[in-house]
Amino acid sequence: MNAPVTLAEPAPRVAASTVEHFDVLIVGAGISGIGAGYHLTQQCPDHSFVILESLDSFGGTWLTHRYPGIRSDSDLYTFGYRFKPWVGPPIATAAEIRSYMGEVIAENDLARHIRYRHQIVAASWSSEDSRWTIEARRLDGGDTVRFTANFLWMCQGYYRHAEGYTPNWPGMADFKGRIVHPQKWPDDLDIRDKAVVVIGSGATAATLIPAIAAESRHVTMVQRSPTYFITGRNANELADLLRTLQIDETWIHEIVRRKVLYDQAAFTRRSFSEPEVVKQELLSGVRAYLGPDVDLETHFTPRYRPWRQRIAFIPDGDLFRAVKSGKASVVTGEIECFTADGLRLKSGEELKADIIVSATGFNLNVLGDIAFTIDGKPLDFANTVTYRGTMFTGVPNMAWVFGYFRASWTLRADLVADFVCALLKHMKAKGARSVVPALRDEDKDMALSSFIDPENFNPGYLMRGMHLLPRRGDKPEWQHNQDYWAEKDEFPAIDFDDPAFVYR
Ligand SMILES: Cc1cc2nc3c(=O)[nH]c(=O)nc-3n(C[C@H](O)[C@H](O)[C@H](O)COP(=O)(O)OP(=O)(O)OC[C@H]3O[C@@H](n4cnc5c(N)ncnc54)[C@H](O)[C@@H]3O)c2cc1C
């Protein structure tokens, strides 16, 4: 359960009939939205802004997910903001991440800018007025309030918070036990002495299983195919050494970030240049915990090259230690159906369960499930081309934060924030009221393809929702290439007078 974090005084409650205007409206109070608010206060202090959030508090992902063991799978030196030192162990619990975000809110007086329980349902752009009108449903009163804003900063994440993805298996209604999705972990779920089956082997399953193994009778992880895992201590030796030397935490944060990113760049490069060597290294990490008796080939050897899907970090090998202890086990095979007592696999194997946890991923959320219109016409993002995964052709005064998968999400949230603040300042200096990305003459015949190259990265929720996302061109300007190491230099060098930006 997340520790309560105290907020500064609550934001004002405004009468439903009042239309408030802000220079910038930020959607979502997750790590991206709170970061956006911070950067505006620092880089554009003359811009008014509001953050609208449908949940009861800040945190986004780290508030929604409450399953046992919930923790980050990337290190907080890079998942933490560039501007706020992380002082704990690299892998953090949801409660620790929320309390870090709570400090950012308190230290920068951001609480007065945030309105909770405001679910944005519609946003319409008027070229005549050069502004957005946003409709939000107030979840505590049920009434609808309107805002206008010059610029929309979309920090709504990438998946639907209300409900996770559960495939529709035959026989689900016959199962006598409870079916649970980790995104909606019930407060009253008692796993003591229960047989639990967890479907899936991604980061969520890998976190949940060691957290419940001791208390349950037995946990079985059922996977269609294996996932890569990387093991290591939940400690950063360099950070520990620098602390022993009493180096200032601001320096430690910067130095350790650089070291983590340097090592990750080498690892990412090697996963493309020598995938077989990297694969064997990852497998030997698993073997070191499980010993020779576990069938590594069947249960832990993925069919894809490393990094085509996110690699889950297993601190101190806790998942493997649960398997080794006999409290957890792994079954690899396809589910045929649910039965009254559990699951039947296509192999004919029956698995008995009191509780089945469907750790099967997310429903992609394309820009907050908001009904967008541009001058009265419904907007379909699939008909747009992405400008660096951050803006869209034909969509004025809007930026979108879509982070990294192979590196920490927040690295990109910080980069995009610098981009947005620089763009806002540029518009002000030019006296422009709107900016819209447009294909230049030299881009008109450019080949267009899906938002992400599935050969590069292909998790299920992206593959299921790719047809809803903007398209990508074959030049760096018109792609989100998931490459922090290229973008960290490319973003600051963006020329806002390039004809790809059309101002009015
Ligand atoms: C369990 C889990 C662990 C993860 N671990 C890591 C990790 O270790 N490292 C990493 O890099 N990434 C990780 N991720 C990915 C993670 O989601 C992102 O890194 C990051 O937290 C996303 O932050 P965000 O603020 O962009 O979006 P979110 O955290 O999704 O927050 C978006 C917010 O916007 C609000 N919102 C959405 N639509 C609307 C609307 N219409 N109106 C009002 N409010 C709206 C939502 O309620 C939510 O609070 C993890 C994801 C999950 C699910």
Tell me the pLDDT tens digit for each residue of 178-215. Answer: 999 999 999 999 999 999 999 999 999 999 999 999 99
Alpha carbon 109 to chain centroid distance? 25
Alpha carbon 371 to chain centroid distance? 22
With bands split at pLDDT 50, 70 and 90, how would you rate the model's confidence at 305? confident
DSSP string computed for 31-85? HHHHHHHHHHHHH-TTS-EEEE-SSSSS-THHHH--STT-B-SS-HHHHS-TTS-
Q: Which three-class secondary structure state does DSSP give residue 17?
A: coil
Rg (CA), the chain: 23
- The CA 29 to ligand 1 mean position distance, Å, reads 9
Reported as a single tens digit per residue, the pLDDT across 219-273 is 999 999 999 999 999 999 999 999 999 999 999 999 999 999 999 999 999 999 9
Using alpha carbons, list the distances in angstroms from residue 166 to 14, 39, 457, 479: 38, 37, 21, 30
Is pLDDT above 80 for 9?
A: no
- The CA 156 to ligand 1 mean position distance, Å, reads 7
What does the pLDDT read at residue 8?
Answer: 41
Ligand 1 atom nearest residue 74's Cα: 8
First to last CA, the chain: 49
In the chain, ranges of CATH 3.50.50.60 domains: 19-161+364-436, 166-360
What does the pLDDT read at residue 481?
Answer: 83
Ligand 1 atom nearest residue 71's Cα: 3
Reported as a single tens digit per residue, the pLDDT across 463-478 is 888 889 999 999 999 9
The beta-strand segments (E) located in 419-478 are: 435-437
With bands split at pLDDT 50, 70 and 90, how would you rate the model's confidence at 5? very low
Is pLDDT above 80 for 460?
A: no
Which residue owns the Cα nearest ligand 1 atom 45? 28
Q: Is 458 exposed, middle or buried (0-12, 13-18, 19+ CB in 10 A)?
A: middle
* Residue 171 backbone class (left: φ over 0; alpha: ψ -120 to 50; beta: rest): left
Q: Measured on CA atoms in the order 386, 202, 161, 8, is the torsion positive or negative?
A: negative
- The CA 411 to ligand 1 mean position distance, Å, reads 14
DSSP string computed for 168-179? --TTGGG--SEE
With bands split at pLDDT 50, 70 and 90, how would you rate the model's confidence at 37? very high
| Contact between residue 58 and residue 102 where contact means Cβ atoms under 8 Å apart | yes
- State the Cα angle at 487 between 202 and 309, rounded to 5°: 15
Q: How many CA within 13 A on the CB side of residue 282?
A: 25
Residues 6+ apart with CB under 8 A from 488: 411, 415
**Pocket lining: 60 vs ligand 1, CB cutoff 6 Å:** yes
What does the pLDDT read at residue 293?
Answer: 87
What does the pLDDT read at residue 10?
Answer: 53
Q: What is the pLDDT averaged over residues 398-414?
A: 94
Q: What is the pLDDT averaged over residues 341-364?
A: 96
What does the pLDDT read at residue 35?
Answer: 98
Ligand 1 atom nearest residue 91's Cα: 8
Nearest to 118 by CA among 150, 96, 140: 140
Yes or no: domain 166-360 corresponds to CATH 3.50.50.60: yes
Which residue owns the Cα nearest ligand 1 atom 25? 30
| Distance of alpha carbon 111 from alpha carbon 125, whole angstroms | 27
Q: To the nearest whole number, what is the mean pLDDT of the chain? A: 94
Q: What is the pLDDT averaged over residues 147-155?
A: 98
| Contact between residue 463 and residue 393 where contact means Cβ atoms under 8 Å apart | no
Is pLDDT above 90 for 353?
A: yes
What does the pLDDT read at residue 62?
Answer: 98
> Of all helices (H) and strands (E), which one includes residue 258?
helix 249-273
What does the pLDDT read at residue 344?
Answer: 98
May I ask the CATH class of domain 19-161+364-436? alpha beta
Which residue owns the Cα nearest ligand 1 atom 4? 72
| Contact between residue 30 and residue 407 where contact means Cβ atoms under 8 Å apart | no
What does the pLDDT read at residue 6?
Answer: 43
Ligand 1 atom nearest residue 207's Cα: 1
The beta-strand segments (E) located in 181-236 are: 195-199, 218-223, 229-232
Which of 409, 480, 484 most suits a substitution to test ligand 1, by most atoms within 8 Å of the C-beta?
A: 409
Which residue owns the Cα nearest ligand 1 atom 51? 61
Q: What is the pLDDT averaged over residues 25-39?
A: 98
Ligand 1 atom nearest residue 63's Cα: 49
- The CA 160 to ligand 1 mean position distance, Å, reads 9
